[in-house]
Amino acid sequence: MNMEYRKIVSVTGMSGLYELMSSKSDGGIVRSLEDKSTKFVSNRIHSFSQLEGIEVYTQDENVNLAEVFDAMKQSSEKMPASNADTNEVKKYFEKVFPAMDMERVYTSDMKKMIKWYEILTKAGVEIKLSSGEETLTDAHTDADKKTAAKASSKAAAVKSGHAKKITAPRKMA
């Protein structure tokens, strides 16, 4: 069974990573990558973050988390434990991914990246972005143009619209 990276989510308030099985208007059904348990998670209490959408601060432009995972995979450096010393974790990422902005990326986030990478490799998830993500810059420019066009058409509609009549009864003092 090969899971898709685009279906992997992190859920606030719950440790580990999950595969999003299906989503509903009030939450989602997720399966843990560690113990394979399936449960419903309400979006009133928790929020979902797709790993594919998470970016990491660098000195230049932000990079997708998958790029950091790829650098970790390609590296010959010994990966520290996810509960390792702060300095050990920072030194590891300085060697593996030197472009990372060490001042803006917290050590707790670095430890989480190590833990997530371990979970993903144990579960046999192929870490790659979906084809839509690869043309991210083109998609942004098209989306920006569409958003600007919608905004200008909405502005024109507002200008030509009539004032809304208030029909609520007045409060008597």
- What is the CATH classification number for the domain harbouring 119? 1.10.10.1650
Is residue 147 assigned to a domain?
Answer: no
Per-residue model confidence as pLDDT tens digits over 75-124: 999 999 888 999 999 999 999 999 999 999 999 999 999 999 999 999 99
Within a domain: 23: yes
Domain of 69 in residue numbering reads as: 54-123
pLDDT value, residue 83: 86
- Main-chain phi, psi angles of 115, to 5 degrees: -65, -45
Spell out the SS3 assignment of 4-72.
EHHHEEEECCCCCCEEEEEEECCEEEEEECCCCCEEEEECCCCCEEEHHHCEECECCCCEEHHHHHHHH
Considering the chain, what percentage of its residues have pLDDT values greater than 90?
64
Lowest-pLDDT choice from 14-28, 45-59, 130-144: 130-144
Q: How many domains does the chain have?
A: 2
Note whether residue 165 is domain-resident.
no
In a domain, 103, yes or no: yes
Residue given tokens 């595969």 in the structure block: 19
Q: Are residues 101 and 70 part of one domain?
A: yes
